[in-house]
Amino acid sequence: MNCAIIGATGYTGIELIKILTRHSFVRLTHLTTRQKRAIPVRELIPTISREVNLEVRRHSFSEVKRKTDVIFVCLPHTEAMLAVKQYREAGKIVIDLSADYRLKNAAQYQKWYKTRHLFPSLLKSAVYGLTEINRSSIRKADLIANPGCYPTGAALGLAPLLERGLVDLKSIVVDAKSGGTGAGKKLSVHTQFSELDENFYAYKVNRHQHMPEIVQTLEKIAGKKVGLTFVPHLLPVQRGILTVIYAKKTNKATPAAIRKAFLERYSGEPFIRLKAEETFPALRDVQNTNYCDIGFTVEPKSGRVIVITAIDNLLKGASGQAVQNMNVRCGFSEEEGIPA
Amino acid sequence: MNCAIIGATGYTGIELIKILTRHSFVRLTHLTTRQKRAIPVRELIPTISREVNLEVRRHSFSEVKRKTDVIFVCLPHTEAMLAVKQYREAGKIVIDLSADYRLKNAAQYQKWYKTRHLFPSLLKSAVYGLTEINRSSIRKADLIANPGCYPTGAALGLAPLLERGLVDLKSIVVDAKSGGTGAGKKLSVHTQFSELDENFYAYKVNRHQHMPEIVQTLEKIAGKKVGLTFVPHLLPVQRGILTVIYAKKTNKATPAAIRKAFLERYSGEPFIRLKAEETFPALRDVQNTNYCDIGFTVEPKSGRVIVITAIDNLLKGASGQAVQNMNVRCGFSEEEGIPA
Amino acid sequence: MNCAIIGATGYTGIELIKILTRHSFVRLTHLTTRQKRAIPVRELIPTISREVNLEVRRHSFSEVKRKTDVIFVCLPHTEAMLAVKQYREAGKIVIDLSADYRLKNAAQYQKWYKTRHLFPSLLKSAVYGLTEINRSSIRKADLIANPGCYPTGAALGLAPLLERGLVDLKSIVVDAKSGGTGAGKKLSVHTQFSELDENFYAYKVNRHQHMPEIVQTLEKIAGKKVGLTFVPHLLPVQRGILTVIYAKKTNKATPAAIRKAFLERYSGEPFIRLKAEETFPALRDVQNTNYCDIGFTVEPKSGRVIVITAIDNLLKGASGQAVQNMNVRCGFSEEEGIPA
Amino acid sequence: MNCAIIGATGYTGIELIKILTRHSFVRLTHLTTRQKRAIPVRELIPTISREVNLEVRRHSFSEVKRKTDVIFVCLPHTEAMLAVKQYREAGKIVIDLSADYRLKNAAQYQKWYKTRHLFPSLLKSAVYGLTEINRSSIRKADLIANPGCYPTGAALGLAPLLERGLVDLKSIVVDAKSGGTGAGKKLSVHTQFSELDENFYAYKVNRHQHMPEIVQTLEKIAGKKVGLTFVPHLLPVQRGILTVIYAKKTNKATPAAIRKAFLERYSGEPFIRLKAEETFPALRDVQNTNYCDIGFTVEPKSGRVIVITAIDNLLKGASGQAVQNMNVRCGFSEEEGIPA
């Protein structure tokens, strides 16, 4: 199968190249950039096998269109919008790693991304690519809106509880901590070494653009309105998101019922690993993998459930899940090519 | 005034040496260790001014007793218990940086520290040294139980709200993240560089020994029972604790009332700094200082108050506050000797 | 082919497990430890594929002997000595990652490792496993002494120059900087996070136990006595060694001759990558790979050659090279199973 | 005494503010920036004492000129050139932290900084502010060219040996490793967290613009031509330079003579600390201090002297030494205001 990566020089593009060059059924035909100079992949990713002879280049839309079956769009949000539209019109399967086709409500998109959505009808047709939740729709989707990193960590931790009504929907607090690559490759004073090293802080407290995406996802799962408090933080590490979720349990939510919900819901999932009772994941456990590790406990006194999830923000939180979605869509083994 | 530091080679002992050698009214007469070899302070703290000629040594109790006015006890918990008792019997002012005299209830102490408290009546006489809360009692205290690092960050963030009944006492969640020095200097696999670097995780979820200390402190301030969920984490940085506090506001708690509570409560406090509206502290802002920086916001939809505090775990969370307490007790300027 | 790893819980054992579980022609039959409790590999290496169902266990020598073809010995030096002897007597191919069979001279071994060598004749039969230098001997070797990490980085940078007499053998300075895993997994105050983070220093200046190994290797290549100054440093990173080599060039050593020496010597080598003129490798380029990247320059004024090599200390500097050697010995493709 | 800092928002400006606000005899009258918005120092340096009420602002030359005695110029090189000239013409004592007045030879300046020097006669009058070497000239200097960080670490390690002819002047190799703040505050891909963290590499190998400054300084001390190989590296730490110096000893250079040279040369120096025999400094020992720590050894076999120096690049390597120079120039105690 012929794949292209549009915007291949950022962190998510790089991870896609690493995965897809190992994928048994994929040929990478085009890696694109807006930079003028062609960049050998070996220069972009010095650790890659020297057998990889690809280049990232300015490719015209018509070139890419001619030869490709699946398009991964790794452009910044608002810039992805048009590219997705064009490749869809050309009949390609598109997996969009930007935020542009995630929010179902165009008004919400405009509110949080400060840009009017130009293709609201295409938005409607997009399938939200949280694999474990939407697998059957992904199988038939031609436009997959690949989830954000924070929403992935939050939704996978809450889904089994929401589906069975085990937590009070107004009581949800998500306290998430992300490594520095989450901020992307763009130069910024906040991600300068001398600013982030030895430092730690919360940012965009209750104002992060992933909030509406989390709410939309949780509400779809729960089938009801959800209240959310969301505080993201920046960690002085490169990769990984640790998400700590607090919620009041409902009356029927015994510890046994909660454990059963997780076990049954995620049994057979290739990339979800449940921790043993009263143990919790560390970033180290999932870095450079597509796993989402989940630990949880019920605190009897306060009646609060605590769920902790760990993912690699660039893999399960971006490019790993994107390929997982492609595998589902194209009928390959779901794990094909994806780092353990 | 003559001061001694009992157990001067750990992180809190080292910070005390750094502060007290700059203190205008203190002479450090004894720095003790259980190690046989005398250790020059210049070897223990290579960055210290070369004018400091002190040594950490095995000193007998009777030696220390003879010449000293104030004793800082920096022994591990359970080991501090007896030393404190002896120096109190010798009539000294004792500032105990261990946990041994913090919990008023000896049964609670035994439950959380797995050791029977031998001197419950002395326990009763101890004053909990959270300066901003107990300043007037500290002025007359002969035994000051210096607070733990997590309790300091949590209680200073909540005190103004609890005193005015602005938050629901059953709704409090404390999500705290500490640098590696919080775990002390003892060798441990968890604090090996290759374990902690690039890593991040929650530990002792709802089981940390600082829980009862936080609850006791909050309940004393509120005058009522408090429910608490407490999740501490270990950060790959050396110093600092960022504490994020979530609580439901009560009906009367308007944003204006909340701001007023913080402003009035901490006006004139030399070591508390309030952030401007909707801004929050970073570890960087308080490292190597005795400041506690506090930011907060009210989230209208969920009715939740979010308070974020930042302290240096070794200063405001330990040795800085210990000297602040000594200054209060001895009638010196509260800021004397303490890093900005 | 059936392989065992003796001492599988340290850093080199862990890397071997990661590589050998991906190796097409290897079955890992035994992973041993002296600890009593069996440790699932998934607990030891949380990031490993959940399809790996192995355990590290106490295995008896006779059990291991019965089923195994190749033995990787990952014991600490001095402890490996006897294990190697026993497995060799049992007729196994042994690849020893310790230092015990590297130094040809038993007296030198005793001097630097403070232990008498008990099997000097076995020492004689060992082949030093620097693949690029000794490939033809490795093909027939039954005992392969796998090189140390510093010697690998130094010798690969110097070999082309020594073989053609392009540098003054008395002028060699090796200034090497290693990540923290180089010190092994044993608890140590020097590798505590709070000691190594934000720190950097030289250690064992001209006294490191890898000195005689470097000298022996360089002298064998040059066929003459070599003078060496060697200063290792500890870096606050996890993996990688950057080795900067300074030497005076000989008269015939034109820049062209030097470039030619590197190009011809390493042409066709699967794991050596030469940098373009006047460019030099970074640790980032080789971490988690088996590559040795090499850059060099000639400084006309001083007549000095500067060579900089970068390796991952746990892969090309240990377990990667060990499997490379096994592949050579057993006739597999040299790159089989080895990352990048 | 009234002081101004021209360009106060970079790393060296910030360190100067921290020192000069603690200096007993200094009043900071002007802190300048080219940015339009005035920046409170408390915002620029969140850890500073809340008693500091200064602001960094656009100040006109005439304002600064009117009230100030000493001017610290912290502008980027090439931009400092004119400012220094103007303040000198206004009769001020100028301490220039840029490179613009360090190289005595205007042609060399043009070669390395790609800019013609406009004021070669002013260049002649500048005194190179390496305090321990030029103290008597600094006492009378009106324009002090404050040394670069690498030259400070290299020259202090070599001066005693050069003065007594103890090393071969053609044999000097300087292998220096600097923390990330050495690259300044300007945004750069090389100092992004995700680039520098866990990484390490050499840069500008034998082409760093500090080379001619090191050579000029060593030649002035030695009174003869000096050959130099200089390889700087970037460390994933914030502060500090570790400089390892290799040189062949001359015949008369016994270990005793070398030790004597260091002891006698630096006896009484307030900011130089010699390590005990065969021990060497770590970055940790000098970070946040103005100390230069020096260790050295003679290697009998190769006849090579190894000297290792450690400084904080922002203090002894920049702002600390600048204030040390001001103290010398103005007749204050040399240590006044300077950390440790």
Contacts 24+ apart (CB under 8 A), D104-108: D104/D216, D105/D212, D105/D216, D108/D212, D108/D216
Contact criterion met (CB < 8 Å) for D49 and B340 = yes
Distance, in Å, from the CA atom of D202 to the CA atom of D195, rounded to the nearest integer, reads 14
Nearest to A242 by CA among A200, A188, A196, A304: A200
Distance from D51 to chain C by nearest Cα, in Å?
30
Q: Are strands A93-96 and A143-145 parallel, antiparallel or unpaired?
A: parallel
- Predicted confidence at residue B159, as pLDDT, reads 98
Average pLDDT of chain B to the nearest whole number: 96
Phi then psi for residue D59, to 5 deg, are: -115, 145
Q: In chain A, whose CA is at the least distance from the CA of B197?
A: A237
- The model's pLDDT over C85-98, given as tens digits with 9 standing for 90+, comes to 999 999 999 999 99
Categorize the per-residue pLDDT at C184 as very low, low, confident or very high, splitting at 50, 70 and 90: confident
Average pLDDT of chain D to the nearest whole number: 96
Residues A121, A199 within the same domain:
no
Categorize the per-residue pLDDT at B260 as very low, low, confident or very high, splitting at 50, 70 and 90: very high
3-state SS track over chain C:
CEEEEECCCCHHHHHHHHHHCCCCCCEEEEEECCCCCCEEHHHHCCCCCCCCCCEEECCCHHHHHHHCCEEEECCCCCCHHHHHHHHHHCCCEEEECCCCCCCCCHHHHHHHHCCCCCCHHHHHHCEECCHHHHHHHHCCCCEEECCCHHHHHHHHHHHHHHHCCCECCCCEEEEEEECHHHHCCCCCHHHEHHHHCCCCEECCCCCCCCHHHHHHHHHHHHCCCCCEEEEEEECCCCCCEEEEEEEEECCCCCHHHHHHHHHHHHCCCCCEEECCCCCCCEHHHHCCCCCEEEEEEEECCCCEEEEEEEECCCHHHHHHHHHHHHHHHHCCCCCCCCCC
Under a CB-based contact definition with an 8 Å cutoff, are residues B303 and B249 in contact? yes
> Which of C201, C282, C310 lies closest to D282 in CB terms?
C201
Distance from D139 to chain C by nearest Cα, in Å?
35
Model confidence at C165: pLDDT above 90: yes
Q: Please check whether residue C297 lies inside any domain of the structure.
A: yes
Model confidence at A227: pLDDT above 80: yes
Residues D16, D52 within the same domain:
yes
Strand partners, D202: D233
- The model's pLDDT over B222-240, given as tens digits with 9 standing for 90+, comes to 999 999 999 999 999 999 9
- Within 8 A by CB and 6+ apart from A251, the residues are none
Model confidence at B340: pLDDT above 80: no
Model confidence at D67: pLDDT above 90: no
Domain final residue pick, D125, D159, D187: D125
Residues B199, B300 within the same domain:
yes
Distance, in Å, from the CA atom of C153 to the CA atom of C311, rounded to the nearest integer, reads 7
- The model's pLDDT over D200-222, given as tens digits with 9 standing for 90+, comes to 999 999 999 999 999 999 999 99
For residue A95, give the CATH number of its domain: 3.40.50.720
Model confidence at B79: pLDDT above 90: yes
Contact criterion met (CB < 8 Å) for B46 and D287 = no
- The model's pLDDT over B87-134, given as tens digits with 9 standing for 90+, comes to 999 999 999 999 999 999 999 999 999 999 999 999 999 999 999 999
**What residues in B contact D291, CB-CB < 8 Å?**
47, 50
Distance, in Å, from the CA atom of D130 to the CA atom of D311, rounded to the nearest integer, reads 13
Q: Please check whether residue A321 lies inside any domain of the structure.
A: no
Distance from D125 to chain C by nearest Cα, in Å?
30
- Predicted confidence at residue D184, as pLDDT, reads 85
Contact criterion met (CB < 8 Å) for D47 and B286 = yes
Distance, in Å, from the CA atom of A11 to the CA atom of A227, rounded to the nearest integer, reads 32
**What residues in A contact B298, CB-CB < 8 Å?**
none
Suggest the residue from D11, D19, D47, D200 to mutate for an interface test with chain B (most B CBs closer than 10 A). D47
- Predicted confidence at residue A56, as pLDDT, reads 97
For the record, the structure tokens of C22 come out as 């991906």
Contact criterion met (CB < 8 Å) for C287 and A50 = no
For residue A291, give the CATH number of its domain: 3.30.360.10
Distance, in Å, from the CA atom of B185 to the CA atom of B114, rounded to the nearest integer, reads 21
Residues B77, B225 within the same domain:
no
Average pLDDT of chain C to the nearest whole number: 96
Residues A213, A165 within the same domain:
yes
Residues B292, B155 within the same domain:
yes
Q: Please check whether residue A144 lies inside any domain of the structure.
A: no
Distance, in Å, from the CA atom of C99 to the CA atom of C214, rounded to the nearest integer, reads 12
Residues D184, D96 within the same domain:
no
> Which of A175, A199, A310 lies closest to B283 in CB terms?
A199
Distance, in Å, from the CA atom of B211 to the CA atom of D117, rounded to the nearest integer, reads 65
Model confidence at D340: pLDDT above 80: no
Contact criterion met (CB < 8 Å) for C287 and A340 = no
Contact criterion met (CB < 8 Å) for C198 and D283 = yes
Contact criterion met (CB < 8 Å) for B291 and D48 = no
For the record, the structure tokens of C61 come out as 């020598």
Q: In chain A, whose CA is at the least distance from the CA of D183?
A: A194
Contact criterion met (CB < 8 Å) for C47 and A287 = yes
- The model's pLDDT over A232-250, given as tens digits with 9 standing for 90+, comes to 999 999 999 999 999 999 9
- Predicted confidence at residue C304, as pLDDT, reads 96
Say whether B170 sits in a helix, a strand or coil.
Answer: coil
Q: Please check whether residue C215 lies inside any domain of the structure.
A: yes
Q: Please check whether residue B269 lies inside any domain of the structure.
A: yes
**What residues in C contact D304, CB-CB < 8 Å?**
173, 229
Q: Residue C223 sits in which domain range? A: 150-313
- Predicted confidence at residue C183, as pLDDT, reads 85
Size of interface A-C (CB pairs under 8 A): 39
Under a CB-based contact definition with an 8 Å cutoff, are residues B28 and B1 in contact? no
Contact criterion met (CB < 8 Å) for C238 and B198 = yes
Residues A85, A177 within the same domain:
no
What would the mean pLDDT of C277-290 be, rounded to a whole number? 96
Q: In chain D, whose CA is at the least distance from the CA of C175?
A: D175
What would the mean pLDDT of C144-152 be, rounded to a whole number? 98
- Predicted confidence at residue B158, as pLDDT, reads 98
Model confidence at B291: pLDDT above 90: yes
| Residue A220 backbone class (left: φ over 0; alpha: ψ -120 to 50; beta: rest) | alpha
Contact criterion met (CB < 8 Å) for A236 and D191 = no
Size of interface B-C (CB pairs under 8 A): 52
Q: Please check whether residue A287 lies inside any domain of the structure.
A: yes
Domain final residue pick, C125, C160, C194: C125
Distance, in Å, from the CA atom of C119 to the CA atom of C99, rounded to the nearest integer, reads 14
Categorize the per-residue pLDDT at C67 as very low, low, confident or very high, splitting at 50, 70 and 90: confident
Distance, in Å, from the CA atom of D303 to the CA atom of B114, rounded to the nearest integer, reads 60
Contact criterion met (CB < 8 Å) for C340 and A286 = no
Q: Please check whether residue B144 lies inside any domain of the structure.
A: no
- Predicted confidence at residue C301, as pLDDT, reads 87
Suggest the residue from D181, D193, D287 to mutate for an interface test with chain A (most A CBs closer than 10 A). D193
- Predicted confidence at residue B15, as pLDDT, reads 98
Torsion of CA B111, B115, B119, B125, to 10 degrees: -50
Q: Find the chain B residues whose C-beta atoms sit closer than 8 A to any C-beta of A.
A: 170, 173, 175, 177, 195, 198-203, 205-206, 227-229, 231, 233, 235-240, 242, 244, 246, 278, 280-284, 287, 297, 299, 301-302, 304, 306, 308, 310
- Predicted confidence at residue D183, as pLDDT, reads 85
Average pLDDT of chain A to the nearest whole number: 96
> Which of B198, B237, B299 lies closest to A200 in CB terms?
B237
Quote the ipTM score: 0.96
Going through chain B in order, the beta strands assigned E by DSSP cover 2-6, 27-32, 39-40, 55-56, 70-73, 93-96, 127-128, 143-145, 172-178, 201-202, 228-234, 241-248, 272-274, 292-299, 304-311
Suggest the residue from D42, D44, D49, D285 to mutate for an interface test with chain B (most B CBs closer than 10 A). D49
Categorize the per-residue pLDDT at A301 as very low, low, confident or very high, splitting at 50, 70 and 90: confident
> Which of B48, B198, B286 lies closest to D198 in CB terms?
B198
Say whether A181 sits in a helix, a strand or coil.
Answer: helix
pTM of the model: 0.96
Q: Please check whether residue D330 lies inside any domain of the structure.
A: no
Residues C188, C285 within the same domain:
yes
Phi then psi for residue D69, to 5 deg, are: -100, -45
Nearest to D302 by CA among B47, C241, C272, C174: C174
Distance from A139 to chain C by nearest Cα, in Å?
25
For the record, the structure tokens of B58 come out as 């095995």
Under a CB-based contact definition with an 8 Å cutoff, are residues A322 and A6 in contact? no
- H or E element at residue A133: helix A131-138
Residues D155, D118 within the same domain:
no
Contact criterion met (CB < 8 Å) for D286 and B198 = no
Output the CA–CA distances (angstroms, integers) from residue C213 to B299, C231, D151, in the order listed: 65, 14, 35
Catalytic-residue membership of A74 = no
Strand partners, D93: D70
Residues B174, B120 within the same domain:
no
Model confidence at D233: pLDDT above 80: yes
Number of domains in chain A: 2
Contact criterion met (CB < 8 Å) for A195 and D193 = yes
Distance from C194 to chain B by nearest Cα, in Å?
6
> Which of A199, A240, A278 lies closest to B282 in CB terms?
A199
- Predicted confidence at residue A277, as pLDDT, reads 83
- Predicted confidence at residue B184, as pLDDT, reads 85
**What residues in C contact B192, CB-CB < 8 Å?**
185, 187, 191-193
Residues B107, B160 within the same domain:
no
Model confidence at C59: pLDDT above 90: no
- The model's pLDDT over C13-52, given as tens digits with 9 standing for 90+, comes to 999 999 999 999 999 999 999 999 999 999 999 999 988 9
% of residues, chain B, pLDDT over 70: 100
- Predicted confidence at residue C277, as pLDDT, reads 83
Distance, in Å, from the CA atom of B292 to the CA atom of B274, rounded to the nearest integer, reads 9
| Residue A73 backbone class (left: φ over 0; alpha: ψ -120 to 50; beta: rest) | beta
**What residues in D contact B291, CB-CB < 8 Å?**
47, 50
Q: Find the chain D residues whose C-beta atoms sit closer than 8 A to any C-beta of C.
A: 170, 173, 175, 177, 195, 198-203, 205-206, 227-229, 231, 233, 235-240, 242, 244, 246, 278, 280-284, 287, 297, 299, 301-302, 304, 306, 308, 310
Categorize the per-residue pLDDT at B183 as very low, low, confident or very high, splitting at 50, 70 and 90: confident
